[in-house]
Amino acid sequence: MTSTTNTFEKLISGFAYSPKSNSKRNNEEDSQNTLVQTKRVKVELPREVSNKSPRHGVHDYLKPGLDVVFCGINPGEMSAALGHHFANPVNHFWACLHQGGFTPTLLRPSEDATLPERFNLGMTNLVTRSTQTAAELSKSELQFGVPDFLAKIALYKPKIVCFVGMGIADNVLEWINTRSDSDGERKVKGKTKVKVPGPGLLPIKLVHSEEKAEEGKAESTLLYAVSSTSGRVVKYQKSDKIKQFQAVRALLDEINSGGSGVSLGLTPIQIVDLILP
């Protein structure tokens, strides 16, 4: 167990905070001295992807023990240009966050760096490359983003991950479901639903401590999917999206109140089994 733990800690240490601030950030971001850009594991992408991957301008905002981490699919061109999450004015994310009960006022995209300290909320993306639309991302690029995402969740251990777009949850579940060790044997036992039928709680939970799991006191992260907040997505209206965020808020309130039935029926998966080679 000690050898496995050391290997795991060495692997995720690449995502720990660096004390150096980014000189390109604005003064407001620099004042958040506990929030700095996270390092990313270099992933070898197919040639057609890596040649079209410009450096993006959107940062993760994470710290240990967050209530909810919101995970987008990738930065849009406007978000990348402005350096802030969900910066397009037709995107409903910030309105959903406010009317969903997470912030007392409607925040501007430029306030994204303040989320961890002010509201105990975090921001990240599955893929770092910016595109005009998510449809420009290849399947392999989405799959390559999953180990990077899981390593961040293993390090920061939020209570809930909210995928802002059900296609993100589809890709994460598909990667988890096909995870194999070097001998070709699946590391994840049992079946996990690959296609997310609609907004709601996913059928698995990510367990962070094997010892606590054995004691029945598992420290875990629940996964929740909501529809994309992009204004281009018309299957769900803005009012529907707000209700989905309110459901995430209700789940968080139940967790914080000590609700024991929150994760009943969910398949527990040791996150260390997913990340270790």
pLDDT tens, 97-124? 999 999 999 999 999 999 999 999 999 9
157 phi and psi, to 5 degrees?
A: 50, 60
Contact 226, 199 (CB under 8 A): yes
Contact 59, 119 (CB under 8 A): no
- pTM for this structure? 0.78
Separation between Cα atoms, residue 191 and residue 239, nearest integer Å: 34
Separation between Cα atoms, residue 116 and residue 123, nearest integer Å: 9
At 12 the pLDDT is 55
pLDDT tens, 121-159? 999 999 888 777 777 777 888 888 899 999 999 999 999
DSSP 8-state code for residue 228: -
18 vs 160: which has the higher pLDDT: 160
At 31 the pLDDT is 38
Look at residues 159, 117, 118 and name the one whose alpha carbon lies nearest to residue 248: 159
Both structure tokens of 242:
């707000």
Please provide the distance, in angstroms rounded to a whole number, between the alpha carbons at the two ends of the chain. 15
Q: Helix, strand, coil proportions of the chain in percent (round to 5)? A: 40, 15, 45
At 213 the pLDDT is 52
Instruction: Quickly tell me which residue has 């620099």 as its tokens.
Output: 30
Computed on alpha carbons and rounded to an integer, the radius of gyration of the chain in Å comes to 18
Q: Does residue 6 have a pLDDT over 60?
A: no
At 76 the pLDDT is 87
At 207 the pLDDT is 93
Look at residues 157, 88, 150 and name the one whose alpha carbon lies nearest to residue 120: 157
Which helix (H) or strand (E) segment holds residue 206: the answer is strand 200-207
105 phi and psi, to 5 degrees?
A: -130, 165
Q: Does residue 172 have a pLDDT over 50?
A: yes
- Mean pLDDT, rounded, of the chain: 78
